[in-house]
Amino acid sequence: MASDWIKRGLVLASLMAAGGSLSAQVVVPALDPTQPTLSAGAAGWREGDVVGSSYSDHSGSRKVGDLEVIKYTGGRLTGLVGVQFSTLAVELSSTGDRPNTKPGTGFDHPVTLKRDRQRASFSVLGSDFANLGLRTETDSKVQWMSATAVQVKTKLDKTAGDLSVKIGDSFYAGGGYAKVKEKSDLTVDNNWTETMAGVGLRFGAPGGSRFRVEVGWINAGKAVQSAYLTKAQAVHPATDTQLASLELEISGLLFSASSAVEEENVTLIDPVSGQSSGVTRNSSRGGVLWVPKEGMVLGFAFGNEKVSQLYTETFSDFEVKLGYLF
């Protein structure tokens, strides 16, 4: 039973590696300057230097059928710096997750104990027409898997190249390609590729009334590595993610909404009931933020998330944001 949950946990871990607080920022950055972008090319379209931070507090549960098996609580701290030079834009961000859920005696469900992500994006700016970006990301996680695997470390290293093109005054389009390497205490090393694409519209100038909408897609390939010596087989299923983001800013007051749907091309079989299930993750966020042309940025956001597979996990979170635009 425990090994089944380990496999399920690794599947979920892979899924979550692509996730976090996903918001469509593949080709143009959010009007909320405290949000890290998903691609370096998008970060190049930032309209000023920024220092940002946010703290979110979440709670949730995992249910198997109607039975609640885990309660989740925890916090996430994010920091971001975005600066622009004459032809180069740099964005650095770091996110730390600190769940409070502690496995107890008789516990047989994988639980994330700690997670840290660091991202660095570098974008070469091309005459207000195209940005060529390079991005690196490290995602480290410590998970409790079973009574015999209490501190399983998993690390993902992602290197991505991307392009974002501006057509006319307001239309943006682009895409990118990423190579992902995974190392785990439990499984053999694995690697796979990711492609992303997006289109977006952004109207208005900083400090005034503005509007932004973007849709994006991320696809990750399937990768299987055979077991070797003491390490188990590594499986990363193919995943499809659809992203959408909508923002409206009126005289500095920004209202934002975003959604993400991630589907994993895998069929899981419950070892007890024999019931089969795919893996889907739906998340949505909404927020209010004060964004001046220059000065202090502050606001808050709400989020909801649901993971459906052999079990169902639901989360809700509340996030406060504070930053400064230079």
Partner 1 sequence: MKHLWLLLLGVGLALNPGISWGQVVTPAIDPARPSKLAAASSWRFGTSVAMATQFGGQKTDQQKVPDHNFGSSGLLVIQPSAITIELASNGSDDLAVWDATSDLLYPSSQNESSGSIAVRGEGRVSVGLGGISRAKESRGIFRQQSGFGGSFGFRLGEGFFGAVGMNRITEKVAAVEDKQWNEMLGGLALVYGDPDSSMFRLEGSLVSSPLVAGGTGLETIHHKTWEQNADLELLWSRWYLSAGSTTTKTFPALVREGDQHLTRIRYGLGYRKLSFSLIFYRTLADEQLGSKMYKERGYGATLGFGFL
Which residue in 300, 304, 308, 314 binds partner 1 (CB under 8 A)? 300
How many C-beta atoms surround the C-beta of residue 209 within 10 A?
13
Count the site residues for partner 1 by CB under 8 A.
22
Q: Taking a C-beta distance cutoff of 8 angstroms, is the pair 247, 31 a contact?
A: yes
Residue 180 — φ and ψ, nearest 5°?
-120, 130
Q: By CB under 8 A, tell whether 201 contacts partner 1.
A: no
Residues 6 or more apart whose CB falls under 8 angstroms from that of 149 comprise 6, 185, 186
Residues 6 or more apart whose CB falls under 8 angstroms from that of 124 comprise 44, 87, 88, 131, 132, 133
Q: By CB under 8 A, tell whether 299 contacts partner 1.
A: yes
Which residue in 3, 48, 57, 269 binds partner 1 (CB under 8 A)? 57
How many C-beta atoms surround the C-beta of residue 174 within 10 A?
26
Which residue in 193, 273, 292, 326 binds partner 1 (CB under 8 A)? 292
The site map against partner 1 for 224-263 (x = CB under 8 A) is: ---------------------------xxx----------
Tell me which stretch binds partner 1 (CB under 8 A): 28-36, 82-90, 291-299, 304-312.
Answer: 291-299
Choice between 227 and 296, CB closer to partner 1: 296
CA–CA separation, 136 vs 58, rounded Å?
27
Q: By CB under 8 A, tell whether 100 contacts partner 1.
A: yes
The two tokens of residue 124 are: 């070469």
Q: Taking a C-beta distance cutoff of 8 angstroms, is the pair 163, 133 a contact?
A: yes
Q: By CB under 8 A, tell whether 209 contacts partner 1.
A: no
Choice between 14 and 56, CB closer to partner 1: 56
CA–CA separation, 302 vs 58, rounded Å?
10
Which residue in 94, 161, 322, 324 binds partner 1 (CB under 8 A)? 322
Which residues contribute to the site for partner 1 (CB under 8 A)? Answer: 55, 57, 59, 71, 73, 100, 251-253, 288-290, 292, 295-296, 298-300, 302, 318, 320, 322
